[in-house]
Structure 1
Amino acid sequence: MLRFACFAAAASLMLAGCSDSAEDADQAAATLDIPEVAPGDISLETMKEVTKTLSSDEFEGRAPGTPGGAKTLEYLVEQFKQAGLEPGNKGSWYQDVPLVEITSENFQPLTVNGGDKKLSFSYGDDWVGTTYRETDSIALKDSELVFVGYGINAPEKNWNDYAGLDMTGKTAVILVNDPDWESEASEGPFNGKAMTYYGRWTYKYEEAARQGADAALIIHDTYPASYGWNVVESSWSGPQAYAQRKDKGADQTMLNGWVQKDVAMKIMSATGHDLGDLMEAAKKPGFEPVDLGASISTGFDNTVRTFDSKNVVGVLPGNERPDEYVLYTAHWDHLGHCKADDTGDDICNGAVDNATGTAALVAIAAAQKKAGPTARSQVFLAVTAEESGLLGSEYYGANPVVPLEQTVAGVNMDALSLAGEAKDVTVMGMGKSQLDGFLESALKAEGRVATADPEPQNGYYYRSDHFSFAKRGVPMFYIDGGQDLVDGGTEAGAAYQADYTENRYHGPKDEYDPNWDWNGVGKDLQLFYRLGRMLAMSSSWPNWNDGDEFRAAREESCAASDAGC
């Protein structure tokens, strides 16, 4: 989550990780300036009210570019003002984020022609897809099917699933996750069971486009994907928002989509292949792509709309080093109208995901304001279009309101747990950076412990807005609710998470419940408050640990500037 470099030799001992010799992580952590912080006066009533309001039907699921999205932006500015924040973007509360919305409809069946065999699959039940191209219609016709394993081209790992292949006129059929996801340990060419970015669907579509493919179809498999087909169908149906591209998406594939695993099995069988055998081959170094000897066709119409969404930016200026910044982030958007449930409800309200995190921005900002100014400035950033691929945070990362080399670190809040009070917190990316020292101190003050992500194979570290900053070197906390509940232990914690994932995540039933237990949220808010305030009062610049994938980005960023870091 971070990157770092040294500039003032006389101050090097005060800057965490500031050493030309890349000190041992433990030794570097010992130099961190980690101040003690008193608990904040955080209003749970504010949390409840903001969460309830943002997830009401009036806000229509908070989709960017809709009336519900506009209401959300207005409401957040009002709440930021009440919390005591100042406009954070040169006198404005907003940062414009240019987007394009593509609504696809009139889907033709996905047909597969393999010799004398012809298969036809229906949209929704069997496959889903869309396009990133700003065009009135898509006509994919007789595109050759090629199985490309996990669809990875990683020169640094000596791995290329597209080796020797010209993808012009072809459709890539791709496995979800990365090759060693079934490992019991988090070790291997792709970090074992801990997913890397190569395992994310976003990467697979990006790489297929770079290879010149007509289309890319990912084979859905619930466990390595970490979500069921219902999530895929809900998320990929209806209007889809993307960052505007100068070429209007001409360099993208015509179609990016998913197919059910049993659909993939039928296709493989019809073309004389066995999906299980192909999956085994794809795990091994030296895998070669397989021409399936078949082609696919489909088509659909598009309605294209360009618009600006907005990030909301508020700041509490520091009183000693105001040009050094600590960041709080949460995404305000959700899916808007989506596939209706069995009651006919088609609003994905996003109460947990992420009205809770957005409400936390407001509640923590008010508490920080009440506690008085910190040495460093604190930025509160509510970003748009996370559900469309981290678009708002990605835009901010590429066009930062405050320089990233002057951004010390940050706290991302996404889908707070309402399972009740826990003895621990779940830390995504634990062990990656010196932020662990701040976390250990804060948890000790609260009598809790840190638990590593129990499902690193799901790649949660790459699925929220902190990633847009981490990949550019800024250290970011991403902390989820605990697994070991005070009432019921780990069994109850696992049951809560399973129920939410299966029954409410990205669906119409993620609604506000007046019977929620907010005690755990209160504890987590105190932790987020402490972490941000500790960083804002500290003189240290925590770095990524030596050897971490993001350390080089931090060092490059800092080396390019005379300020910050």
Structure 2
Amino acid sequence: MRAPIVCLLPFALVSAAASSPQISVQTLKSVDKELSSDAYEGRAPTTPAEEKTVAYIIAQMKAAGLKPGNKGSWTQDVPMVESTFANISPMVFVGGSATVSLAPNTDMVVRSYRVLPQIAVKDSEVVFVGYGINAPERGWNDYAGVDVRGKTVIILVNDPDWQTPGRDGLFEGRAMTYYGRWTYKYEEAARQGAAAAIIVHDTEPAAYGWGVVESSNTRPSLELDVPGDHLDQSAAIGWMQLEAAKRVFASVGKDFASLSEAAKVKGFKAVPLGLKASVSMTATIKRQKSKNVIGVLPGKTAPKDFVLYTAHWDHLGRCTPVKGDGICNGAVDNASGIAGLIALAQAHAKAGPAARSVAFLAVTAEESGLLGSQYYAEHPVYPLARTVGGVNMDSLNVRGAVKDFVVTGAGKSELEDLVKPFVAAQNRVIKPEPNPERGGYFRSDHFSFAKLGVPMLDAGSGEDLVQGGVAAGHKAAEDYVTNRYHKPQDEYDASWDWSGAVQDLTVYYGLGRQLAQGKSWPNWYKTSEFRSVRDKQRSGK
């Protein structure tokens, strides 16, 4: 059962709070077009393009009527360390019927969290650990009975029941849990002491093609600059192509498909492959600061309570060229989200201050692992216990008006109920995620806040287009994922239809305005993994 919601505004007051905001389509177009132009070189953090990007966002926030959000400053410094990898060797597996050599980029990609000028894994025993999950609360441990310290682990992507229809199953069926996310797999491998952790890429359970993996793992790697230089992590982390994995397993007479099926069953035991792996690389290390940008509309009567809107300003910068174009402009991902952030700032400023403060946070380094939002959540400008909740925006709908609304990772927080009247007011219906296996809940900045207790909504347009229905909407969504996502082709298009984005932004405005005008403190449902964190946080406010 979902936990009851307290202190909700009556529907009449919800409507009054929303009061038909003016979402400027011209703002959406102009901000997106500017930030995704080649002049911004793909907005990679810590590059010369960052200064230009940050200056533009500050100018837009100031023009919208916001105030500097960090004690008189528009920015928060985020200490980063950048590693540029070179001299990457093939990943060589010996001990089988024939040596298997995997070529960088073509067969595999590899990098390291460790901040060291030279990285090497030499003659490391290889173990297949299935999905690489250790979940005691679910009675599942792929590392049970095996010591992988100093070894190379090969891991399947997603979680064991990703092919199960619906949400039934130990790992929530088709919906990905955090155990299926690649970040978790590297974290757990490091906790187990693995020298190298290599995930097998398979397009359907990964939810993106090899091109996305390659472009994301062959550019300079950013991490938060912390004491210890991440030496507690595995020396090498990476991915290998599915066909490459099959060759590795075949070299010792193992059938990859059969072992993958066995790994889906509770009680699976890790399989030492009798191989040894080696790989090496060098790294050029640069320590510097990136910036989160923060603007605020101070509240009138409860200015120390904050409602939060977030969107990431960064993208991939220069990436693998396609037809001579080597700039990943990130027009949808996420110049559109920043455009939405500015349009919402304008709408709130035009409506005037609410009771509570409304903060607008443009974070850095989402594409590098949610680093900007992680840093803010761990070093908040506004105390998390006084942060009511909010909305994250990562890629707006530019395909046109829709009939549906989808909540990413549904079933977690009371914000999902608070948003229902605003969706209903547009005669839209709330539908389940069409692709829950993609693990969207763990792939954007709201997750950084969720882990530390703050309820954040990540939701928006579904695929049921007013013009063309579900078939057309699904086709357009799949076309974007296949042909533009994390590629140079994600460019601004003057023919985009922003009506769906306006629908969603109107919902976000209504929810945020209601929270800002009211006194409620929405929580996670009692069944949510984040509920206990929030309860403890709020009890000590």
TM-score range, shorter chain: over 0.9
CA drift at 1:155: 1.6
Give per-residue Cα distances to partners, 1:281-305, cap 9 Å, x unaligned.
2111111111000011121221111
Please show how residues 396-407 of structure 1 align to structure 2 within 5 Å: 396-407=376-387
Match of 1:29 in 2: 5
- After TM superposition, the structure 1 stretch with the greater mean CA deviation from structure 2, 374-383 or 447-456, is 447-456
Match of 2:146 in 1: 165
Match of 1:266, SS state, is helix
Which of the residues 164, 168, 181 maps onto 1:183?
164
Q: Does 1:117 align with 2:71?
A: no
CA contact (8 A) 1:175 1:219 kept: yes
CA contact (8 A) 1:101 1:240 kept: yes
Give per-residue Cα distances to partners, 1:1-29, cap 9 Å, x unaligned.
xxxxxxxxxxxxxxxxxxxxxxx637x23
Q: Does 1:376 align with 2:339?
A: no
Task: Return the alpha-carbon distance in structure 2 between the equivalents of residues 30 and 46 of structure 1.
Answer: 36
Match of 2:472, SS state, is helix
CA contact (8 A) 1:56 1:349 kept: yes
Task: Return the alpha-carbon distance in structure 2 between the equivalents of residues 497 and 116 of structure 1.
Answer: 44
Q: What code does the residue aligned with 2:489 have?
A: K
Match of 2:321, SS state, is coil
Ranked by relative contact order (alpha carbons within 8 Å, sequence separation 6 or more), the top structure is: 1
Q: Does 1:477 align with 2:457?
A: yes
Match of 1:200 in 2: 181
Which of the residues 486, 493, 504 maps onto 1:506?
486
Which of the residues 418, 431, 444 maps onto 2:411?
431
CA drift at 1:496: 0.7
Task: Return the alpha-carbon distance in structure 1 between the equivalents of residues 537 and 247 of structure 2.
Answer: 49
Task: Return the alpha-carbon distance in structure 2 between the equivalents of residues 204 and 404 of structure 1.
Answer: 28
Across the aligned residues of Structure 1 and Structure 2, the Cα RMSD in angstroms comes to 1.2
Which of the residues 442, 445, 456 maps onto 2:425?
445
Match of 2:42 in 1: 61
Q: Does 1:89 align with 2:66?
A: no
Match of 1:303, SS state, is strand
Which of the residues 342, 358, 361 maps onto 2:338?
358
Match of 2:110 in 1: 129
CA contact (8 A) 1:146 1:172 kept: yes
Q: Report the TM-score when normalising by structure 2.
A: 0.97
Match of 1:138 in 2: 119
CA contact (8 A) 1:329 1:380 kept: yes
Match of 1:12 in 2: none
Match of 1:233, SS state, is helix
Match of 1:16 in 2: none
Match of 1:43 in 2: 24
Which of the residues 384, 394, 403 maps onto 1:414?
394
Task: Return the alpha-carbon distance in structure 2 between the equivalents of residues 545 and 115 of structure 1.
Answer: 51
CA contact (8 A) 1:83 1:369 kept: yes
Give per-residue Cα distances to partners, 1:407-465, cap 9 Å, x unaligned.
11110000001111111122112332221222111112222222221211111010000
What is the number of equivalent residue pairs in this alignment?
A: 536
CA contact (8 A) 1:145 1:296 kept: yes
Task: Return the alpha-carbon distance in structure 2 between the equivalents of residues 65 and 417 of structure 1.
Answer: 28
Task: Return the alpha-carbon distance in structure 2 between the equivalents of residues 239 and 115 of structure 1.
Answer: 34
Q: Does 1:310 align with 2:299?
A: no
Q: Does 1:335 align with 2:316?
A: yes
Task: Return the alpha-carbon distance in structure 1 between the equivalents of residues 73 and 106 of structure 2.
Answer: 45
Q: What code does the residue aligned with 2:382 have?
A: V
Task: Return the alpha-carbon distance in structure 1 between the equivalents of residues 183 and 147 of structure 2.
Answer: 21
Match of 1:21 in 2: none
- After TM superposition, the structure 1 stretch with the greater mean CA deviation from structure 2, 450-459 or 213-222, is 450-459
Identity within the alignment, %: 54
Task: Return the alpha-carbon distance in structure 1 between the equivalents of residues 418 and 150 of structure 2.
Answer: 52
Which consecutive residues of structure 1, in runs of 5 or more, have no partner in the other structure? 1-23
CA contact (8 A) 1:55 1:349 kept: yes
CA contact (8 A) 1:33 1:539 kept: no
The runs of 4+ residues in structure 1 deviating greater than 4 Å are: none
CA drift at 1:30: 6.7
Match of 2:202 in 1: 221
- After TM superposition, the structure 1 stretch with the greater mean CA deviation from structure 2, 275-284 or 488-497, is 275-284
Task: Return the alpha-carbon distance in structure 2 between the equivalents of residues 377 and 187 of structure 1.
Answer: 41
Q: Does 1:367 align with 2:344?
A: no
Task: Return the alpha-carbon distance in structure 2 between the equivalents of residues 498 and 107 of structure 1.
Answer: 33
CA drift at 1:277: 1.5
CA contact (8 A) 2:205 2:437 kept: yes
CA contact (8 A) 2:407 2:416 kept: no
Q: What code does the residue aligned with 2:475 have?
A: A
Task: Return the alpha-carbon distance in structure 1 between the equivalents of residues 199 and 97 of structure 2.
Answer: 25
